[in-house]
Structure 1
């Protein structure tokens, strides 16, 4: 089956640019606004949407995203709202909609049931930050059955053996993450991400997208010198929080201006 996510990245490349992947939490500031926000992102240049159902123990997220997800949970977000939101968004946009989720909620919901409902809602796949391919047999089988993309994370600390496994098990792209650090360390983070992408390519990765706290058009351009896509979260969530849909739209347009190669 053709990966909708890989196709979106290839389409961006055909237009002479890298792909822009925008992350937003579902349910923030409320469910309907989070749906409208995702549509706004797609309308203002995002090639792929990455939506995060709020989770009570978000080990990977920075403060801005954590505060937004806590607000969404306090506002009454339920796991099934994920599928309602994905369906509403997929009905209004042409870009692939990925769900970035911790593994426990999927397990509790039932892996096959989750995959079937995501597919029925028009979702394109899952990004699973806290499960490795060797522990994801059930999900790999469900995604092969449904044609959903499965996107695993690779880190600079990953061994070659593990990178080989991640590349072999991922479809769409490999989510290339560099240890988060303060802004002053950005040059080192960039070097770590650059090195990791080159290792992933050596293991046969066709598409590697980088998320390392990218927050400016210049950083987007820098990452796209060596990666297929740039993933931005915090800067978009902050824009939505501080200035609503209008601020989100202008931030998205600014960031996507950095994708030209």
Structure 2
């Protein structure tokens, strides 16, 4: 990155070409609705002898702030890539995209709540639900009557794919007696991408011999977004 020409890149993850092309289609529609001109870009040319190049095209546009947004296959790694360049990049890894609206557990104790970020990404957390542990949960020490599920829903209206991170946590000692099950984290299968216009439901599981009256947690949906603290009531 330079001071005058900032440029950022993020690797994206798709199940396959069909999933990738479906994501491009949603982007094309979303960008078009915003009045942004959409440009098709060809698949990358082969740069490694003997290594086939996936025939995956790309898209690019320029937003209202003069920032070029593009999604394409990296010419060397053939990894789906999201890039932004030019202008004043609003996605700052240090500060993160901040919230423009907070309701419920995002600002005061409640069973659930929502945060809407300035770029249109919305996060809804809660309510906490008592569940019957399955055999896999019991293998990690979960017990009947003491196992709970916490749902997190991320809705993407940002105009570009959002790569989620397993960014849920809490300050040390914030929730006495609570133990999170490692095998039931938000993203046990690795990174996940929420396409433009889509929602993804994530779930994490914890145990507690005595459920506290409220849970203090923090959540950061991606590297691009600021982390916020939540206080969820459990009853």
| TM-score scaled by length of structure 1 | 0.21
Which one has more relative contact order, counting CA pairs under 8 Å at least 6 apart?
1
More strand per residue: 1 or 2?
2
**Hey, which of these two has a bigger chunk of helix by percent?**
1
TM-score in terms of structure 2 length: 0.22
